[in-house]
Amino acid sequence: MSAVILAIESSCDETSAAVISNGKVLNNIIATQAIHQKYGGVVPELASRAHQRNIVAVVDEALKISGIKKHELDAIAFTRGPGLMGSLLVGVSFAKGFAMGLGKPLIEVNHMQAHVLSHFIDDPKPAFPFLCLTVSGGHTQIILVQDYLAMEVIGETQDDAVGEAFDKAAKILGLPYPGGPLIDSYAQQGNENAYKFSDTDMPGLDFSFSGIKTGFLYFIRDEKKKDEKFVEKNLNDICASIQHQLVKMLLKRLEQASAKTGIKEIAIAGGVSANSGLRNKLKELAIRKGWNVYIPKVEYCTDNAAMIAMVAHYKYMNKEFAQLDVAPLARMPI
């Protein structure tokens, strides 16, 4: 069943729209929100207001670039959750109004499923079943993917997400928001074995990052008491060491998941999957373990509507449509 679908993503601080035709993404328009940088993190109220300002222009641009007219659309897709309630509400409300005005069906999309299906935007594509390590500022999960819309979380963080740990470490070091990419940049010039940080032993395939955040805070505090310029003198090595430990914690669980399930088709997704340390270490591990590894383009790692469109494509083929009274969900399990 062929279809042309407009997809909208507004779960956090990126307003994005994309058009997909017969399973091929035609474009991926993203409006970022720089205003959060001066606050050191995303401010929900400011994010929702920015979505209100951006959404019409972003959707209009996506349609114009695709060459698709509004009446030619077969459905309107949107992120229902998880995410910030105010941000989600803007996208959901716009999608519902747009669909009602055009008399087109609605398709709701789980944001985390969309990160997984970002691997089906371009080649090469993983074969089923595969494991997907989904890592971002709000989530850290190992997902067993049986089919396009059949997924099971087999491991997840019990407290903080790894992306939050990266950003918190950056804030402790005095780096501006978003700090995760800056840690990655400095780490490339440093010695990853310069400093040691402890792991948190969790049962099964679950993660915990609250302990390493606290340990890092105390480490920097104590070293600065000895030398107030400790961070300035050793920034590259500090970043390399904390990144090394966080990546090690992620890949340890992923390796255990592969051994437990016998699956060697391995993918990563989410904002932290853009981290060069994670990408490089995963490739090294794949060689040792005989894995087939799939890493999305950087533009599909962060929040974007192209991945929402990909989920919508398969839901449309299954005729899985939403009701017009659908509401956003800040927490939405896979």
The CATH number covering residue 66 comes to: 3.30.420.40
- In a domain, residue 325? The reply is no
Structure token pair of residue 120: 């089906």
Do residues 207 and 276 both lie within one domain?
yes
* Amino acid found at 139: H
Segment 181-204, tens digit of pLDDT: 999 999 999 999 999 998 888 889
* Res 45: pLDDT: 82
* Res 47: pLDDT: 84
* Res 2: pLDDT: 75
Do residues 194 and 234 both lie within one domain?
yes
Do residues 79 and 32 both lie within one domain?
yes
- In a domain, residue 331? The reply is no
Asked if residues 157 and 206 have their Cβ atoms less than 8 Å apart, the reply is yes
* Res 1: pLDDT: 64
- Residue 148's CB is within 10 A of a number of other CB atoms, namely 18
Mean pLDDT of 271-300: 97
- In a domain, residue 205? The reply is yes
* Res 34: pLDDT: 66
Mean pLDDT of 54-63: 97
Do residues 62 and 141 both lie within one domain?
no
Banded pLDDT at 310 (limits 50, 70, 90): very high
- Residue 215's CB is within 10 A of a number of other CB atoms, namely 15
Structure token pair of residue 58: 């972003």
Please enumerate, as own/partner, the contacts of 34-41 that have beta carbons within 8 Å and a separation of 24 or more. Answer: 36/177, 37/176, 37/177, 37/178, 39/177, 40/171, 40/176, 40/177, 41/167, 41/177
Look over the chain and give the mean of its residue pLDDT values, rounded to a whole number.
Answer: 95
- In a domain, residue 40? The reply is yes
- In a domain, residue 332? The reply is no
Do residues 28 and 155 both lie within one domain?
no
Helix 230-261 crosses helix 180-187 at what angle (to 10 degrees)? 100
Asked if residues 102 and 317 have their Cβ atoms less than 8 Å apart, the reply is no
**Rounded to an integer, what distance in angstroms lies between the CA atom of residue 178 and that of residue 233?**
22
Question: Of 29-38, 184-193, 268-277, 282-291, which range is least confident?
Answer: 29-38
Q: Is the pLDDT of residue 304 over 90?
A: yes
**Rounded to an integer, what distance in angstroms lies between the CA atom of residue 95 and that of residue 109?**
12
Do residues 152 and 258 both lie within one domain?
yes
Q: Is the pLDDT of residue 51 over 90?
A: yes
Q: Is the pLDDT of residue 68 over 90?
A: yes
State which residues form the domain around 104.
Answer: 4-117+301-317
Do residues 88 and 34 both lie within one domain?
yes
Do residues 265 and 147 both lie within one domain?
yes
Do residues 110 and 243 both lie within one domain?
no
Q: Which backbone phi and psi does 280 adopt, to 5 degrees?
A: -65, -45
pTM value is 0.95
- In a domain, residue 328? The reply is no
Banded pLDDT at 114 (limits 50, 70, 90): very high
Helix and strand element counts for the chain (H, E): 9, 11
Do residues 181 and 253 both lie within one domain?
yes
Banded pLDDT at 38 (limits 50, 70, 90): low
Instruction: Give alpha helix (H) positions in the chain.
Output: 44-66, 85-102, 111-117, 162-172, 180-187, 210-226, 230-261, 276-289, 305-317
Please enumerate, as own/partner, the contacts of 30-34 that have beta carbons within 8 Å and a separation of 24 or more. Answer: 30/58, 30/302, 30/303, 30/304, 30/305, 31/57, 31/58
* Res 46: pLDDT: 87
Segment 76-101, tens digit of pLDDT: 999 999 999 999 999 999 999 999 99
- In a domain, residue 165? The reply is yes
Using only C-alpha atoms, the chain has a radius of gyration, in whole angstroms, of 20
**Rounded to an integer, what distance in angstroms lies between the CA atom of residue 174 and that of residue 132?**
32
Do residues 135 and 178 both lie within one domain?
yes
Enter the DSSP assignment of 32. -
Segment 239-277, tens digit of pLDDT: 999 999 999 999 999 999 999 999 999 999 999 999 999
Structure token pair of residue 136: 């971002």
* Amino acid found at 54: N
Mean pLDDT of 101-121: 98
Q: What percent of the chain has pLDDT over 70?
A: 97
Q: How many domains does the structure of the chain reveal? A: 2
- In a domain, residue 323? The reply is no
* Res 271: pLDDT: 94
Do residues 279 and 229 both lie within one domain?
yes
